[in-house]
Structure 1
Amino acid sequence: MITMLLSGIGMGVVFDGYRVVSDELRISRLWIPIFDLLYWIAATLVVFQVLSASNEGEVRAYVFIGLLLGIGCYYWLFSKITMQLVHVLIRTVRAVIKFMIRAFDLLIIRPLLLLYRIGKLLFAFLRAFAIFLFKIVVQLVRPFWLLAAWMTKPIWKPLLRSWKRWVNPLITKWRIPERVTALRTGLNKLWQRWKNRKQEKKDD
């Protein structure tokens, strides 16, 4: 009898908690009958397990009386308190989750963004400095390069002429400029087709 009384109270606690959670989560009304059915199936199985453990599964009149008394006592004495406690628990869980998200943003996300921005600025500075140094080196080396080119002109100019004599017939034979132009035209046509299809999908 006491076991069934406690089972009835437990059923009331779980049902009120389920109602509060469904209201807080704003579950659609279409799902409520399904969840109610699942609750009663689970409650029946739990009560049967409790009855099997306490009374070897014998179903007597006092079993139903105990359940009804437990449910009635719960809704008379503890229902409002339970619902208030569940509301407080849900608000506490939400506050903890918001605090954790806020702490994660402040302690991890923002420092990483700051490091990324600092690294980006540093990289831009180093790149500009490297380009500046490269220009200076080019300006310093250019006179020596021109001098070396003038001094070695008797060597590389005949080689350049012979190279042109050997390469130009191959370029003419294989029609390399025409093939490059045809390839470029084909790629442009494919690009235009892809852009047109993308625009047609956007319009649809």
Structure 2
Amino acid sequence: MTLTTQFVTMLSMIGMGSLFGAMFDTYQRFLKRPKRKQWIVFFNDLLFWVIQALIIFYTLFLVNKGEIRFYIFLALICGFATYQSLFKGIYLRLLEWLIQTVIVIYRFIKKALRLLIFKPIVGLVQLLTVIIVALGRGLWALVQFVLRVLKFIVNTGLTILKKILWIFWRLLPKGLKKSVEKLYNRIAGNFKKITNFFTKWINKWKKRKE
């Protein structure tokens, strides 16, 4: 390994140590250990350390083909210590500012979508509902009005027909009246028998079903 390669390796590992410190603080900020279950924390910690080891080894592989020397660990510790003493406070403030900025942007987009998309759609649905209900009530009122008119016409027609039939009945001879009365009584009796038959049959069917 040449001197230049060793120097680049030292600088890279110092940078990786500082990057590790920043990523560790970021991980701690989002993990929220007191609110997590122990097995979740353990799994996340294991995954974090594996990812960090892979990143450091990949960087080392790019710089010196993956040769591990003792000073590499010293460079990592030096970079981590440099971050802790010089850059940690600045980075944490910057990280918090970025998080709050993202939250503000997210809330703004959420409110904008609610005002521009969600509320107009809800208002349109409510308007259509009101229109449909109003049309339904109007149609029902129209149907009721038509039925009342038809009922009035039918009642009026039946009243007139009754009067005409009554006058016609008065003008009929007595012999013909008796024949008509007998025919009417016979038809009424047969109709009553048929009605009684169907009523008994329906009652029997209901009892069998029960």
Same fold? TM cut 0.5: yes
Is it true that 1:69 corresponds to 2:78 in the alignment? yes
Which residue number corresponds to residue 176 of structure 1?
205
Amino acid at match of 1:28: R
From 135, 139, 150, the counterpart of 2:144: 135
| Cα distance between partner residues in 1 of 2:208 and 2:79 | 91
Change (3 A) 1:159 1:70: farther
Structure 2: give runs of 5+ residues left out of the alignment: 1-9, 163-183
In structure 1, the partner of 2:110 is 101
> Which amino acid is 2:55 matched to?
V
TM-score of the pair, normalised by structure 2: 0.67
The root-mean-square deviation of aligned C-alpha atoms, in Å, is 3.4
Letter in 1 for 2:135: L
Q: Which runs of 5+ in 1 are unaligned?
A: 152-156, 183-204
How do 1:1-204 and structure 2 match up within 5 A? 1-23=10-32, 27-28=35-36, 30=38, 31-146=40-155, 147=157, 169=197, 172-173=200-201, 175-178=204-207, 182=210
Q: What's 1:196 paired with?
A: none
SS at match of 2:106: helix
- Mean Cα displacement is larger for which, 4-13 or 110-119? 110-119
Which digits, 9 at most, give the CA deviation of each residue in 1:86-116, with x for residues without a partner? Answer: 1111111111221122122222222222223
Structure 1 window deviating more from structure 2 (38-47 vs 77-86): it is: 38-47
- Cα deviation for residue 27 of structure 1 reads 3.8
**What residue identity is the alignment partner of 2:51?**
A
Aligned-partner Cα distance in 2 for 1:104–1:10: 37
